[in-house]
Chain A
Amino acid sequence: MGLIQRILEERGISTVSISLNLAITKKVKPPRVLYPGFSLGHPLGRAHDREIQLRVLQDALGLLEMDLQPGEVVIRSY
């Protein structure tokens, strides 16, 4: 996923992604990343929990407007 993200960014599309594992993210170095501490298969938190899904998506998109360094990972707890 990080490889796809990097290609989009190289071609002029701003991107933000979720990380489910910091060790993998550290190697791939995608442009902007939110690490919410969820397990594999659960990037938006929990099934049918619209409130947490909305918060995670909104927070992640919010990273696009923050003054971040390329490759910076923002860690939040939900």
Chain B
Amino acid sequence: MGKFKRLKNQTFAKVYTKIPSLVDLYAKQADLVVNTTTPFTPLKKPLEKCRISLITTGGVHTESQKPFDMADKKGDPSYREISSDIDVEQLTITHDYYNHADALADPNLVLPIDPLSELLQQGKIGAIGPRFFSFMGHIMGDHIKTLNQETAPEVAAALIGDGVDAAFLTPT
């Protein structure tokens, strides 16, 4: 994807942020996955004893990690692992489909690493998983299959391996 197309996507993202009703219009006409049932796993123990992890689709990654692919117009279904003891100042964002100026200034806005640590210090949660996971939330076409059948199940298996009881997820 050329510079002009990326600029166009970034401009649209800013407009969508300014005018939320446009997102409603998008939701009505977009070819979104429509589900009729919902899987449900009740929490197995009190929150204060649970190990929690964070997941975002905000395109967050460390400076040293490979950026998400902005050239593919169907998006990028891969993910990045982020160590949970990372300093948020080491994080950056690659995502042309939302206005991430504020999130770049404070990554806690999309991946609340410091607030989660505060809840741990307050004893409101039992532990924090060793790693968080970040996707780029603009996934279309056959990349949805990759997400559903490969990358999201990989993250689920990693969370189970980490002994995580519950996850908090943010869209952008």
B-contacting residues of A (Cβ < 8 Å)?
Answer: 1-21, 23-24, 27-31, 39-48, 50, 53-54, 56-58, 60-62, 64-65, 70-71
Count of A-B contacts judged by CB separation below 8 Å: 204
Residues of B within 8 A of A61 (CB): 47, 52, 119, 124-125, 166, 168
Q: Is the CB of A27 within 8 A of B17?
A: no
Q: Is B160 an interface residue (CB 8 A)?
A: yes
Size band of the B side of the interface?
35 or more
Q: Across the two chains, which residue of chain B brings its CB closest to A2?
A: B171
Q: Tell me which of A6, A23, A40, A41 contacts B39 (CB under 8 A).
A: A6
Q: Is B38 an interface residue (CB 8 A)?
A: yes
Q: Across the two chains, which residue of chain A brings its CB closest to B149?
A: A7
Q: Is the CB of A6 within 8 A of B35?
A: yes
Q: Is B123 an interface residue (CB 8 A)?
A: no
* Extra contacts besides A1-B57, A29-B35 (10): CB < 8 Å: A4-B147, A13-B165, A14-B41, A17-B170, A27-B33, A40-B98, A41-B102, A44-B108, A46-B102, A54-B119
The interface centre, meaning the residue of B39, B52, B114, B135 with most chain A CB atoms within 10 A of its CB, is B39
Q: Is the CB of A24 within 8 A of B160?
A: no
A31 to B42, CA, bound (A): 10
Q: Is the CB of B147 within 8 A of A3?
A: yes
A1-B170, A58-B119 given as contacts; is B38 within 8 A of A47 (CB)? no
Q: Across the two chains, which residue of chain A brings its CB closest to B20?
A: A39
Q: Across the two chains, which residue of chain A brings its CB closest to B53?
A: A13
Residues of A within 8 A of B165 (CB): 13-14
Contact with A along B117-135 (1 / 0, CB 8 A): 0110000110000000001
Q: Is the CB of A15 within 8 A of B17?
A: no
Give 29 A-B contacts (CB < 8 Å), ordered by A residue: A2-B171, A4-B155, A6-B35, A7-B148, A8-B156, A12-B160, A13-B41, A13-B160, A16-B167, A17-B171, A20-B171, A23-B27, A24-B32, A28-B34, A29-B35, A29-B38, A40-B98, A43-B56, A43-B171, A44-B112, A47-B106, A54-B118, A56-B112, A57-B112, A60-B168, A61-B47, A65-B46, A70-B40, A71-B40
Q: Is B90 an interface residue (CB 8 A)?
A: no
Name the distance in Å between B39's Cβ and chain A's nearest Cβ.
4
